[in-house]
Amino acid sequence: MKKTLSMVLAASLLVGALSGCGGDKKTAGTSHDPVTINFPTATATGALYAVGAAITNVWDTKIDYVSASSQASNGGIDNLNQISEGESQVSIAISSNCYQCLNGTDSFEGHAYGDLKVIAGLYFNPNQVVVTNGSGIESLTDVKGKHFAVAAAGSSVEGECSNHFTAAGLNYPDDINCEYIAFGDAADMLQNGTIDGAWIMSGAPAGAVSQAMSSECKLLDISDEIIANLQKDYPWYAPFIIPAGTYPNQDKDVQTSAIKMVMFCRGDLDEQTVYDLTKTLWESIDELGEAQANLKGLTAGEAVKDIADLPLHPGAEKYYKEIGVL
């Protein structure tokens, strides 16, 4: 509870900091009916919670007709369901889940949302596999028979576990003693040795990984062979290096897999609104990057790449053509 309250307080302070540096309120759009943007993110202990708070604060501050706010959620699949059901208007998920939602496959079989549209590809979201030093785990295949946290049942992170362990030759979930818990709980259990490992998918550095790595834990490499196996069926995967020193007691680079995070919206959100959301996002990216590490260094040119061929919203497309990246 203390950790969750701390994360919520940190997000609140972040919003306050951005409010102070955002300049005068309402600089984009002057003749538009009011628009409310509900933006689900993830649990309050994850990096995505702070990312959503930062972005919605900028929109709420700088676009005169927009009232934007972020909320905690159960992550990417929940976010996509909220968008498809009209409960929310804008959110973020990994590109693979967006592709599945658009096409009605995997977790979205039988209930595709064909009007899903992209505002921007953001940062790569790496898979981070943390194991205790005493677990004997040196590769994904070694997780067989171990007590391992795979995040919430049916979540996008559990989907990552299924894809990767299957690519490593395991029968998921039968070969693993799975624990279906949130990142923060997994970090606690890693520290006290009640689980052998945990799958955490989040921008690096992630608080839960830092917590676990401060104890007797290490990050696991994901091999070129497993990444190549994944790419045969899931072309959105890319190799990703977590540099040495990113976490406590991490003295070498660690290779893992990653998927780009995508900001998406309902297709019926009007063109002018999405144009203003997109333009304001990129014109504010430097201050956003100073306040939230996962947004630092992002460029509009990269926002249209590695997004699994998902369709851009016409308002976003208009902006990218205007600045010459399309």
CATH number where 30 lies = 3.40.190.10
Judge whether residue 30 has pLDDT over 80: no
Residues 145 and 213 in one domain: yes
Q: What is the pLDDT of residues 11-28, one digit of tens each?
A: 444 544 454 444 445 555
CA-closest candidate to residue 294, choices 125, 71, 60, 98: 125
**Residue that the structure tokens 């009232």 belong to:** 67
Residues 99 and 136 in one domain: no
- Kindly state the average pLDDT of the residues 35-52: 91
How many domains does the chain divide into? 2
Looking at residue 18, what is its pLDDT?
Answer: 52
Q: What is the pLDDT of residues 272-310, one digit of tens each?
A: 999 999 999 999 999 999 988 889 999 999 999 989 889
Residues 66 and 185 in one domain: no
Residues 58 and 68 in one domain: yes
Judge whether residue 237 has pLDDT over 60: yes
Is the model more confident about 238 or about 3? 238
Q: What is the pLDDT of residues 77-103, one digit of tens each?
A: 999 999 999 999 999 999 999 999 999
Domain range for residue 306?
2-123+261-322
Residues 153 and 233 in one domain: yes
Final residue belonging to a domain, choices 221, 241, 259: 259
- Kindly state the average pLDDT of the residues 119-142: 96
Final residue belonging to a domain, choices 232, 259, 286: 259
Q: What is the 3-state secondary structure (H, E, C) of the chain?
A: CHHHHHHHHHHHHHHHHHHHHCCCCCCECCCCCCEEEEEECCCCCCHHHHHHHHHHHHHHHHECCEEEEEECCCCHHHHHHHHHCCCCCEEEEEHHHHHHHHHCCHHHCCCCCCCEEEEEEEEEEEEEEEEEHHHCCCCHHHHCCCEEECCCCCCHHHHHHHHHHHHCCCCCCCCCEEECCCHHHHHHHHHHCCCCEEEEECCCCCHHHHHHHCCCEEECCCCHHHHHHHHHHCCCCEEEEECCCCCCCCCCCEEEEEEEEEEEEECCCCHHHHHHHHHHHHHCHHHHHHHCHHHCCCCCCHHHCCCCCCCECHHHHHHHHHCCCC
**CA 252 – CA 72 distance, rounded (Å):** 34
**CA 261 – CA 249 distance, rounded (Å):** 27
The encoded tokens of residue 296 equal 């630092």
Read off the pLDDT band of 3 (50, 70, 90).
very low
Residues 112 and 141 in one domain: no
Looking at residue 303, what is its pLDDT?
Answer: 97
Residues 98 and 61 in one domain: yes
Residues 239 and 131 in one domain: yes
From the CA atom positions of the chain, what is the Rg in Å? Answer: 19
Measured CA distances, 25 to 18, 51, 212, 276, 307 (Å): 12, 20, 40, 14, 32
Residues 91 and 28 in one domain: yes
Residues 155 and 222 in one domain: yes
Residues 137 and 234 in one domain: yes
Judge whether residue 214 has pLDDT over 80: yes
**CA 198 – CA 76 distance, rounded (Å):** 18
Final residue belonging to a domain, choices 259, 281, 300: 259
**Residue that the structure tokens 């979201």 belong to:** 125
Residues 167 and 232 in one domain: yes
State the CB neighbour count (10 A cutoff) for residue 171: 10
CA-closest candidate to residue 286, choices 7, 22, 9, 13: 22
